[in-house]
Structure formats: C-alpha cells, structure tokens
Chains A and B, each alone.
Chain A
Amino acid sequence: MRKLFKFLTPPPEWKLPVFIILGIFVGLGCYVLYLSKAASYLSDDPKTCVNCHIMAPQYATWNHSSHREVATCNDCHVPHNNVFNKYFFKAKDGLRHASIFAMRKEPEVIFILEAGKKVVHNNCIRCHSQTLTDPKLAAKVPNQAHNTQDRVCWECHREVPHGRVNSISSVPNARVPVPESPVPDWLNEYMKETKLENE
C-alpha cells in the first residue's frame, strides 16, 4: 500500500503541474456531475426522470393517471425488497439509460426490459397483494388464481398507468418539468448587464 502511494506520489519538482492537472480533472468531473444533476438521482422525485427529455411521455402520462397520487416512478420501477438492491438496480438501470442516451441510441418507442418487467410486476403485487390473496375473489371468480398468477398484471390492465402508445413524440406539448438552463441566475444577470454596457 505504502509502495503504491509512493509510486503515485510525484517527485517534488512535478508537484505543481500535477496539482494543476488533477484540478482540471476533478473540476471537469464536478462540472459533468452538475450538468447531469447527479445528486437528484439519489431522490425519488419523478422530476429526476425527466432530466432526460425523452422520458417526457412517461412523465406526462403518469401525471394524468390515477397512480399520480399514490406512486412515484421509483415506487414501480426499482425493487423495494431492500435498500441495497434498490440502489444497485437504480444505478445499473440508470447508467444503461445514460449511456444509451449519450450515444443517441434511444429507440423511437421505448419498451421495458425483462429485468424491469420483473421489478414492476413485483411492485404491483407489493401494493395490490390483497386482490391476489382475497379468498372471496378466489372463491367467486372462475380461474382467479390462474388468471392472476401466470402472467404480468398489465397483460390485462394495459392502460395502467401510461396508456398504450409511448413513442417519444407522443406528447408534443405536454408541460413536463424538464431541467432549466444550467447557467445560474447571477451569471445570466451579469451577462445581460455586460451586454447592455457593450451596446
């Protein structure tokens, strides 16, 4: 360990340039974190999910659904069996989304993957377990157990909660809280002022 540390420590005459270069690295890194609103990804706020504007249809349809009042994006789309799994899955899925988005490889119509399906299905059950275990329903409705347990919920409840079609151009004018300009107000003000002076 100490050897490695020693190996990485620059000789005295290199210290200044190394500090500067490391500073550039860290600064650029911070800038990327700020631009991508990285901290917001730790929260459960649905606004975070429209940091990428291509999620606008999903946000808008959810915001017009009955689930709006009771469930956020994360309530359905990340596992809730334990906190580690939650953040592991969130990080995994999030980084995949971010990479696809950065490489402009997003499809026109977004479909959920197998892993995500399982998570969502389990979350349906997490809240609606009573409809699956209700003995009255099981006794009255023919094939109730069969119909509820050999398929995903949305095979029948197709419109819940996003509706059927979710192409990325399906909600042209939806008012979705996409991130505003990353330039802070004081800088904007300052730039306006200096512009006025120059004119």
Chain B
Amino acid sequence: MKPIQESVRKKPLLGWMIFLATLVVVFLLGLLASSIMERRAESVFAYTPQVKYDQWEPRNEVWGQNFPREFQSYYQTADTTFRSKYDGNAMIDMLEVDPRLVVLWAGYGFSKDYNQGRGHYYAIEDIRNTFRTGGPKNEKDGPMPATCWTCKSPDVPRLMNEIGVAEFYKGKWAGKGSEIVNPIGCADCHDAKTMNLRVTRPALIEAFERQGKDINKATHQEMRSLVCAQCHVEYYFNKKRVEGVPYLTFPWDKGMTVEAAEEYYDEMDFKDWTHKLSRAPMLKAQHPGYEIYLKGIHADRGVSCADCHMPYKSEGGQKFTDHHIQSPLNNVANSCQVCHRQETDKLIKNVFTRQDQIIQNRDKLEELLVRAHVESKKAWDLGASETEMKPVLQLIRHAQWRWDYAAASHGGSFHAPTEIGRIVATGIVRAQDARIDLARILANHGYNKEVAYPDIATKAKAQKYIGLDIEKLKKEKEEFKKNLLPEWQEKAKKRESTYQVKL
C-alpha cells in the first residue's frame, strides 16, 4: 500500500474528494446540531402570550387573556348550586344548622357568623360580608388584624413584595382594605413568566425551613398539593416574632399531627381566646386540610390535591387542568374514576358512608363539649377556685381542639377517616374526663345534680344564651358597607388604572 500522500500527488482529484467528503460530513453534522437546537428552542417559544404582564399582576382577568380555558373554568367557582350530603359550594349558615357551635365558640368571632365556604371566586366578597370582620369605621378600627387578608387574594403577594412581609401583617384588617380587591386566583399559585407552580405565601416557606426542608426542592407533583397547603392548613398569629405584629405561622415544628401541634401551643402557652362560659384557654383549629390529607391513603399513594379537585378536562380536542376547584363528588368521572372502576353512585355512597360514620361520634363529642362548658360555668358560679378548675379547663381545651381539628378539616372524614376517627375518640376521652372532674367539683360545692342542658335549639336562641348582640353587629356591617367599602373600591380602581396592562 502506498502512502496516501503519494496517491494524492498522482491523482489530485482524490485529494479534492477527501476534502469534499470532510466538508459534507461537517456540514451535515452542523446542520443536525442547529436543527436540534432549533427544535429545542421551539418548546420555549410554543407559548406566545397575548398580553405581557409583570410577576405580581393581581387581576385574574389579565392572566385570563393568555389562558382563556383555565380562566373560564376558574370562573366556574362562582357556581353555588352543588350540595353534597354535608358540604358543597352553596353558602350554608352552619350556626343555623348546628347552634351548638355558638356555645362552643362563645367569646370568639366564630360565634357571630360562620358559613360553609363558597368557591374561591367569592373570597373577597365573603370576608367583607362576614360579621367576624366587624364594621370598621376607618382604617384603624375593627376586631381583626391585616393578617386575615393573607389567604384571600393575589393582591397579597403583590403587596408583600411592595412593603415587606411583616409590614403587611401589621395593623388592622381595615387598613389594607383598599389594597386587596381581587379574589384568590392565578398569581397565588403561578409564576407569571413560566406559569410553573410557585409558593407565594411566606408562612409555608418558613414552616418548611424550620423543619429543615427546602420547599424549592419539591417535585411538580408535590407542588400540586403545596400550592393548596399555602392556605388550607392550621395556623396561628405569632405576636412575638416581630413585636406587635400578628405574624402568620404554621405550628408544624414538632410534627404534623394533632398532638404535635397541641404540644407546640401548650409549650408556648398560646391561646386563641378565653371561653366566655367556662373561661378555658381555647385553641381554634383553622382548617388543617393539608395535614389531614397527609395522613390518608391517597396521599400515601402519591395522589395530589389537584388530581381530584382539579382533574384533567377535555374540550374540543384540547386537554387542560380544570380550574373549577370543587368537590370531586360533583365530577366523579374525571376524578375518582380515573383510578377506580366502580359506578358513580357507588363511589359517592362510599364517601357518604365514611362521613356518616365519622359525624356520629363527632356529634357526640360536640354535645359533651357543650355540657362541659355549661357545667364549668355552673362551677364558677358556685365559687370554684382557679386551682380546682385548672386541670378541667386544660382538658376542655384539648378536647375541643380535637373536635375542631376534625370538624374544620373539611373533607377530612374522607381524606383520612381512620385518623379523624382516632382524633375524635381521643377528644371524647378528654371531654368525659373533664366532666368527671367537674361532677366532683360541683358536688364539693354542694351541687349533686345534672346541670341542665341549655335551650339552644336555634342560632338566635344560642346567641342570646351566650349574650351576643347580633342586631348591633348587623348595623355596624351595614354602615361599613355604606361608608368605608365604596371608598376602598374607589381607591382600588384608581390604583389599577395606573397598571401597565389595561382591561
């Protein structure tokens, strides 16, 4: 074999052919590389928005221009026609349905007014209307702190970004009324640039940090629950973190169970209010939906909140996540039946069975708690001492905490029936222990009879029994809606008219 140099010298054409072959190969390789690059870039540009808005755009209607399907399905949370056996999306006056609640919450805002919640669409309207927020006359007036706005609106992350987190929580509820006007929506859960899910509420991020976890490492599937866990959790207002500011905090430092949260509160001597009848240092469970969900079989199998409450939907050959967040019982085909092959009626019946089984004992616990409060009042009236009553009041505190944890975790009796059953059972034990002690105290003070169960057959009777002037509340609310509320709306309109994107 001759060296190639010689062959080329003899036939220069061969040299040219080698040159050409190299050229073609490099050209094609380059072409392939740029084609891969182009096609990878395609996926980035597949989403071309109609309008451009910034990261903290609070108006859902603006986002809706880019995502009409998601937006329109979100708007269906305005529907209030669905009622399941216990819940649904209609507004139900729970104090009317169950007047015992008034006695359980005597001395606390919830005895004034408590409704089965409506869809996210009504978040702003309903918090303005409830008697719990009172009828403030100016921005420094009213019973509630600004912290109460935290879960209500995409205006919250916007404002937090503008003035800082602690400054947001500071002051009265009425102080931020003109700032927060858009109901829960897009910017609460989505990043404006990538539309990826994001956590916007600092309380969840801080709770994760204290547990030594990094929320940024959460997977997409976990995020489909964590965006809900920004609000659907048990929380309290910590007044020690920043002086004089009711700082929204999750009691998760010792664990995610009802006992862990109780221990956390006991250790810091925290109470939400002092009960008006029994004078017990009470805890109000908010809505530990996420905590209870974690204890259930669905969470264990990797099912997220969105899988059942926002399932995939097909419309005109386009599939998208149904943003009509609602009870899966109103949409069994797309939620339950993706995994379970049973008939719709059967599946709904299975849910009702669990709810029925749980409510039986929860109802009993509720009655025991009413009795314990009334008996405690009797004991105080007969001259019982602080030291006598202290262990009793602690038992009442723990028993009602358990009842509330079970009751307020709406859907809990389906999400984790065995856990709720356990919580209610431990609550009954504590309530009865309290009543055994109370019977002894009453006997010691010369009263050895049953304390009469109060006549609380209706909401009005119960509110009268605990000494609540509902007419005054009504009047205050009406004045607030006539005077302050229009001012808020006017201010908000003016502010939003200065935003870049016009509607």
Contact = CB atoms under 8 A, between A and B. Distances in A.
Interface of A: 3, 6-7, 10-11, 13-14, 21, 24-25, 28-29, 31-32, 35-36, 52-53, 56-57, 60-61, 64-66, 68-69, 101-102, 163, 165, 167, 169-175, 177-179, 181-182
A162 to B, nearest CB: 10
A14 B29 contact: no
Contacts of A172: 69, 318, 320
Contact of B26 (A6, A24, A182): A24
B45 to A, nearest CB: 10
A179 B40 contact: yes
B311 interface: yes
A25 B47 CA distance: 35
Contacts of A32: 29, 32-33, 36
Contact of A29 (B29, B43, B312): B29
B12 interface: no
14 contacts: A3-B1, A11-B5, A24-B26, A32-B36, A52-B39, A53-B39, A53-B42, A101-B39, A163-B312, A165-B314, A167-B317, A171-B319, A174-B320, A182-B37
Contact of A173 (B1, B25, B320): B320
B448 interface: no
Enumerate the 8 nearest inter-chain pairs by beta-carbon distance, A residue then B residue, closest first. Answer: A53-B43, A66-B339, A178-B43, A64-B312, A35-B36, A28-B29, A11-B5, A69-B302
A3 B311 CA distance: 67
B174 to A, nearest CB: 38
B274 to A, nearest CB: 47
Nearest to B2: A7
Interface string B11-37: 000000000001001100110110111
B311 A64 contact: yes
Interface string B64-102: 000101100000000000000000000000000000000
Contacts, number: 97
Contact of B33 (A3, A10, A28, A177): A28
Contact of A171 (B22, B30, B220, B318): B318
Given A29-B29, A32-B36, A61-B312, A10 B338 contact: no
Contacts of A36: 36
B26 A11 contact: no
Given A25-B26, A28-B33, A165-B317, A64 B338 contact: yes
B60 to A, nearest CB: 15
A165 B195 CA distance: 24
A14 B5 CA distance: 9
User: What class of interface size applies to chain B in its complex with A?
Assistant: 35 or more
B338 A66 contact: yes
Contacts of B37: 35, 182
A174 B26 contact: no
Contact of B307 (A52, A64, A179): A64
Interface string B168-202: 00000000000000000000000000011100000
B494 to A, nearest CB: 33
A163 B33 contact: no
Interface string B40-69: 101110110000000000000000000101
Contacts of A3: 1
A13 B5 CA distance: 10
A159 to B, nearest CB: 9
Nearest to A50: B43
B82 to A, nearest CB: 23
A36 B38 CA distance: 11
Contacts of A181: 44
Interface of B: 1, 3-5, 22, 25-26, 29-30, 32-33, 35-37, 39-40, 42-44, 46-47, 67, 69-70, 195-197, 220, 301-303, 307, 311-312, 314, 317-320, 338-339
A170 B320 CA distance: 8
A64 B29 CA distance: 38
B338 A65 contact: yes
Nearest to B40: A179
A25 B318 contact: no
A61 B26 contact: no
Contacts of A69: 301-303
A11 B3 contact: yes
Contacts of A165: 314, 317, 319
Contact of B47 (A13, A31, A173): A173
A126 B319 CA distance: 30
A60 B317 CA distance: 14
Given A25-B25, A101-B39, 16 more contacts: A3-B1, A6-B1, A11-B4, A25-B29, A32-B29, A36-B36, A53-B43, A60-B312, A68-B302, A69-B301, A163-B314, A165-B314, A171-B319, A175-B220, A178-B43, A182-B40
Contacts of A14: 4-5
Give the most central of A35, A177, A179: most B CB within 10 Å. Answer: A35
Given A6-B1, A66-B339, A31 B33 contact: yes
Q: Which of A169, A170, A173 lies at the interface centre, i.e. has the most chain B CB atoms within 10 A of its CB?
A: A173
Contacts of B318: 169-172
Contacts of A24: 26
A7 to B, nearest CB: 5
A174 B301 CA distance: 23
Nearest to A109: B317
Contacts of A170: 317-319
Q: Which of B3, B22, B197, B303 has the most CB of A within 10 A?
A: B3
Contacts of A60: 312, 319
A53 B46 contact: yes
A35 B26 contact: no
Contacts of B30: 28
A32 B25 CA distance: 13
Contacts of B319: 57, 60-61, 163, 165, 170-171, 174
A63 to B, nearest CB: 8
Contacts of B42: 53
A182 B43 CA distance: 13
A164 to B, nearest CB: 8
Contacts of B314: 163, 165
Nearest to A98: B36
Given A11-B4, A173-B195, A21 B22 contact: yes
A133 to B, nearest CB: 19
